[in-house]
A and B are shown apart, each in its own frame.
Chain A
Amino acid sequence: MQRFWRRFRQGLQRAWQGLREWSGDAAYEKYAQCAVRGGAKQLTQAEFYVEQLKRKYSRPNRCC
């Protein structure tokens, strides 16, 4: 039973993380990890948000 609950919790966590990634909620965390590894100057969350939107909406990203 304990194993079941542990797996259930893990499943929920994974689904939550998936939802955050799908919606773009976790985009800054991913960027920050990458920027730290690359040693580049890191944007603030607000700067990253605007920069990311500008890139996303400058090419076809929604279909008919």
Chain B
Amino acid sequence: MKKFFSVIVWIVVALVGAVALATIAFRRGEPINATWFVLAAACFYVVAYRLYSAFIAAKLLVLDNTRATPCERREDGRDFVPTNRWVLFGHHFAAIAGPGPLVGPTLAAQFGYLPGTLWLIAGAAFAGCVQDFVILFCSIRRDGKTLGEMAREEVSERGGFIAQLAVLAIMIILLGVVALVVVNALKSSPWAAFTLAMTIPIALLLGVYLRYFRPGRVLEASVIGVALILFVVVAGQWVADSPLLAKVFTLSGVSLAFAIIAYGFAASALPVWLLLAPRDYLSAFIKAGAIFSLAAGILLVRPQVLMPPLTRFIDGSGPVFAGEIFPFCFITIACGAISGFHSLISSGTTPKMIQREGHARFIGYGAMLLESFVGVMAMVAACAMPPGVYFAINSPATIVGASPEAAAQTISGWGYPLTAETMTGLAHAVGEQTLLNRAGGAPSLAVGMAQIFSNTIGGERLLSIWYHFAIMFEALFILTVLDAGTRVGRFMVQELCGRVWKPLGRMNWMPGILLSSGIIVGAWGYFLYQGVVDPLGGINSLWPLFGISNQLLAAVALVVATTILLKMGRLKWIWVTLAPMAWLVIITMKASYQKIFSVNPRIGFLSYANAMAAQLAAGKIPVAKIADTHRLIFNQRLDAGVTAVLAVMILVLLVEALVQWHAILSRRKEPVLRETPYVATQWAGGD
């Protein structure tokens, strides 16, 4: 009887999900309520978790709860620490949830709400969650080895090297792109710039408190820090209202870029306890609070989604970034659907803390579902504002014009009604001088979040506070990714340099630290500067590069997973990892090809460079801009080169893997698994 009711409940959940999905897919010509998005996503996720992840756990991975996990065999209280599965879920989620699932869907909203939402939901269930879950399992069976180590041992030496290079490449491009998002959110905004600047002394204060006064008392320090941060969000308004202070904190894109580069260098070279760690604590609490508040706000306010399901820009002519819906929607939304970077977390700390193999399903598959849900909420927040406003905020001045009147005229001409007064009034309401041309996704998401929050608490009166809270939240945790990533990048560079000259590899040798910090900051700083001075807003060139490199890493992870599963003899179910891997290879190859060779100068790096070179040759560039144009041409060619290298890496890895798989399947080679031997658990059942 109990089983019968359970079946009925699951059928009802599946039906509700199907109706909600059909509603968001087929509704045309009128706004749709955000509740349908929440219902569709939630029902799809619980059904996917109940059925698909259970199938993977039982048939593909055959999770074994009698097997001792690394934290039982090697418990040391430091890395290998048995952790309650709910706590570990929180750890894992906090580690994988970065700005990607917020920014990607916001940018992809230019295609309309439908493509991005479907990709977020289905991509997570059939690709992203699978990757995270399977890699976590593989790492648990290998004492918590990293993706690079597994690639080297299970695929080939070259596979491991490619994985290592892919990690470094994604790190550099990612950091440049996320820094650009911060620059575009803060430029010409004294309130936002002041708030974010103040997070640095607050973090330093907490760093000293946690190091010397109350070592390790993270909770009490975080409470103090969060209170101070909320205060500076409010105080930012006073700064913006003061003519003198407003002038100090009104910064251009280039000034902000150099400030962020200097910050990244300092965070990498200074002791970790002083700046990086306390900022991370603050960011974790604010991130968790803001995400849950956004979810609660959407459920309470139930806003109407005003963006159409599909816009005219699916043809590739989008103002936010150029490129057709296929493959660019799937490149733009990486985190939230599938993110290669997650495989580094799944093969990092989490496998060393998991108590039972069976928990891998809840933590690996479940946390990614939650991240995807964050992406759906970001999509709702971006699409809940009038489309005209969305395009005015996210389009560069070269396309829509720099004045409210010009932007209103261009965007209205596209069929998305907008008046100049709307944009000036909105900017005034959120306490900004202008909201035009803020490509990058953060400001439009902040406007969407502020509207949802202010409809819940405070009304119009608090709109400007909510807007700056949202900007601070996004910028704070983007900078956390930036400083943590720069530091890890520094270690990678030191490791590589140490092979050439040993002292450079010493982690406590100051000249080595400064040099490697300079190299990694210089690398992502170059991409950042390039984005800031790019007349198309930078996001158009750099976000696809980031998407391609992130999906490359996901392809590496799925190649490793497929190889291991083949060696385990799971040929029958190999499509579970093979299908998403093939999909990723197709979209990354197609996107790479278009980004390099497309004849449309807004898409193809080379055609853009050639168009600029032709203008130079024809003498159409003013003398004052000749040097800038030369730099622009160089940057476009550099981006083409980087994309080509990434594409070649995918192909080389694929060939490596195919050779390996052929050898296994034709029985020419005995499959050798590098699992740690089975040891029975001594722990009783439960947590």
Contacts and interface: CB of A to CB of B under 8 A. Distances in A.
Interface of A: 18-25, 27-28, 30-35, 38, 44-46, 48-64
Nearest to A60: B344
Given A18-B84, A58-B491, A63 B341 contact: yes
A58 B146 CA distance: 13
Contacts, number: 134
Contacts of B167: 60
Given A55-B79, A61-B95, A61-B349, A49 B216 contact: yes
A57 B348 contact: no
Interface string B71-109: 000011111010110110011001111111000000000
B622 to A, nearest CB: 39
Interface in B217-256: 217-219, 222
Contact of A21 (B87, B171, B222, B349): B87
A22 B91 contact: yes
Contacts of B87: 18, 21-22
B341 A21 contact: no
Interface string B473-510: 00000001100110110010000000000000001000
Nearest to A42: B77
Contact of A63 (B75, B90, B335, B546): B335
Interface stretch (B16-24, B269-277, B630-638): B269-277
A55 B487 CA distance: 12
B178 interface: yes
A64 B99 contact: yes
B487 A57 contact: yes
10 contacts: A18-B84, A18-B87, A22-B90, A28-B215, A46-B211, A59-B344, A59-B348, A60-B341, A61-B345, A63-B335
Contacts of B218: 23-25
- Interface centre among A28, A31, A58, A63, by most chain B C-beta atoms within 10 angstroms, is A63
B487 A49 contact: no
Contacts of B284: 23
A38 B75 CA distance: 10
B95 A62 contact: yes
B561 interface: no
A34 B76 contact: yes
B517 interface: no
Given A34-B77, A58-B487, A64-B174, A50 B273 contact: yes
Interface of B: 75-79, 81, 83-84, 86-87, 90-91, 94-100, 146, 167, 171, 174, 178, 210-212, 215-219, 222, 271-273, 276-277, 280-281, 284-285, 334-335, 339, 341-342, 344-345, 348-349, 480-481, 484-485, 487-488, 491, 507, 546, 550
Contacts of B277: 53, 56-57
B219 A63 contact: no
- Interface centre among B79, B219, B481, by most chain A C-beta atoms within 10 angstroms, is B219
Contact of B86 (A18, A33, A56, A61): A18
A56 B345 CA distance: 12
B84 A21 contact: yes
Nearest to B89: A22
A23 B78 contact: no
Contacts of A21: 83-84, 87
Nearest to B82: A30
Contact of B345 (A20, A38, A60): A60
Contacts of A31: 77-78, 81
B602 to A, nearest CB: 25
B217 A32 contact: no
